């Protein structure tokens, strides 16, 4: 038993070259620039609708996360068993995100239905100067943003 | 992708590490997974609260400043710089790990110094941003930014922003401390005597994780 010995994959050590590192760097930089370009285009023209953009952002973010984990953290080059002990528990995030975000959405809908004061607050404009409690203008019709 | 295994290798017959990684590195992976759930819980609670609100402040209004540019409206510019700094320091960290594989002590030192500088630069950016936002009246329990539809916002926006970026910033800070310790150990020649640079790899895993979390923080707070 030689648990304290260094791992046996010395051949993997010698193949650790710097080329994929730079490729990963350019991929990450490229994705970030695409995200910024989309955000800027949306700010100027309002064209890609926000909900479409949000989906695109989430996909691109997951792509970046994959590249960081697989290449920078070198997990893509480890044994599949090790990868699975990390990837399978991480699948809990799928449930975690869906359950909690939809719970938030349901709470918002319930409150809008049963709490008129809450709806009125949301339709009351404040002065954009910020910080100060502005004299509230008459509430707008519900449904109007 | 995955490591090539000679046919017939019995990983579970005892006598060798079934995952073919060193103990400390494996435990670092499991620690990072638990940390990912901590950050995940933070970000998902942020998502839940944001989803349960009818309206939310516009990040392009809240995060529009750049050092030395006065009140110019520059959304996303400063945070892009911060993202670039962190990705760059992640690259120098991998280069340090690669140099460690090659057993090149001088190069490890060089790249560790660059990584530490990158981490400090990121922390300075964050300190500036926090100071700026605090000057605008934002802090835990205080939120000067109105909702995007013009109504008064709750303090959730700043509470989540400061808590999550603060927790991430604290990770960056401890990552810089770990990197400095690794640099000192490398300068003393500890790793050269030991014959391998696995400690650099473990510090590297932690450092990349910090970068990984920032990718999500960036998306959740500045883009969505």
ipTM summary value: 0.88
- Whether residue B151 and residue A122 make contact (CB cut-off 8 A), yes or no, is yes
Taking contacts as CB-CB distances below 8 angstroms, the residues of chain A near B40 are 93, 96
Nearest CA in chain A to B100: A13
At residue B1, the pLDDT reads 52
Nearest to A58 by CA among B61, B166, B215, B106: B215
Between A and B, how many residue pairs show a Cβ–Cβ distance under 8 A?
192
Please report, for chain A, the start and end positions of each structural domain, with discontinuous segments joined by +: 18-101
Q: Tell me which of A5 and B128 has the higher pLDDT.
A: B128
Mean pLDDT score of chain A, rounded to an integer?
81
Query: In angstroms, rounded to a whole number, what is the distance separating the alpha carbons of residues B97 and B101?
Result: 6
DSSP state of A76: G
Q: Which residues of chain B have pLDDT under 50?
A: none
- Whether residue B87 and residue A81 make contact (CB cut-off 8 A), yes or no, is no
Would you say residue A7 has pLDDT above 80?
no
At residue A129, the pLDDT reads 52
At residue A15, the pLDDT reads 53
Nearest CA in chain B to A132: B144
At residue A132, the pLDDT reads 45
pTM of the model: 0.87
Task: Name the residue with tokens 């910024």.
Answer: A36
Taking contacts as CB-CB distances below 8 angstroms, the residues of chain A near B81 are none
Note the CATH architecture for domain B23-223.
Up-down Bundle (1.20)
Please report, for chain B, the start and end positions of each structural domain, with discontinuous segments joined by +: 23-223
């Amino acid at each position: 038993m030689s648990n304290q010995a260094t791992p046996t994959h010395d051949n993997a050590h010698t193949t650790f070259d710097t080329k994929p590192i730079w490729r990963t760097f350019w991929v990450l930089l490229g994705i970030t620039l695409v995200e910024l370009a989309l955000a800027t285009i949306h700010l100027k023209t309002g064209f890609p609708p926000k909900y479409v953009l949000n989906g695109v952002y989430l996909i691109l973010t997951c792509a970046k996360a994959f590249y960081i984990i697989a290449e920078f953290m070198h997990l893509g080059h480890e044994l599949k068993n090790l990868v699975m002990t990390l990837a399978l528990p991480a699948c809990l995030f799928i449930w975690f995100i869906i359950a909690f975000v939809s719970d938030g959405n349901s709470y918002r809908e319930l409150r809008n239905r049963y709490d008129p004061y809450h709806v009125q607050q949301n339709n009351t404009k404040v002065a954009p100067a910020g910080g100060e409690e502005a004299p509230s203008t008459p509430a707008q019709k519900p449904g109007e943003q | 992708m995955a490591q090539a295994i000679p046919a017939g290798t019995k990983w579970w017959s005892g006598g060798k590490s079934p995952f073919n990684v060193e103990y400390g590195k494996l435990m670092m992976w499991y620690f990072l997974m638990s940390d990912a759930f901590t950050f995940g819980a933070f970000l998902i609670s942020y998502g839940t609260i944001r989803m349960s609100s009818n309206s939310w402040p516009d990040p392009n209004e809240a995060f529009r400043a750049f050092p030395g540019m006065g009140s110019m409206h520059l959304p996303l510019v400063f945070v892009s710089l911060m993202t670039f700094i962190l990705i760059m320091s992640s690259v120098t960290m991998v280069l340090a790990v690669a140099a460690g594989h090659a057993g090149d002590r001088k190069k490890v030192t060089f790249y560790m110094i660059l990584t530490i500088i990158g981490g400090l630069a990121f922390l300075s950016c964050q300190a500036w941003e926090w100071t700026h936002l605090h000057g605008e009246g934002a802090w835990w329990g205080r939120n000067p930014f109105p909702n995007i539809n013009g109504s008064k916002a709750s303090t959730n926006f700043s509470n989540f922003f400061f808590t999550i970026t603060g927790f991430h910033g604290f990770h960056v800070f401890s990552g810089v401390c770990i990197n400095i310790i690794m640099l000192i150990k490398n300068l003393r020649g500890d790793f050269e005597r030991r014959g391998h640079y696995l400690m650099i790899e473990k510090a590297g895993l932690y450092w990349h994780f910090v970068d990984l979390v920032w990718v999500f923080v960036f998306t959740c707070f500045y883009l969505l």
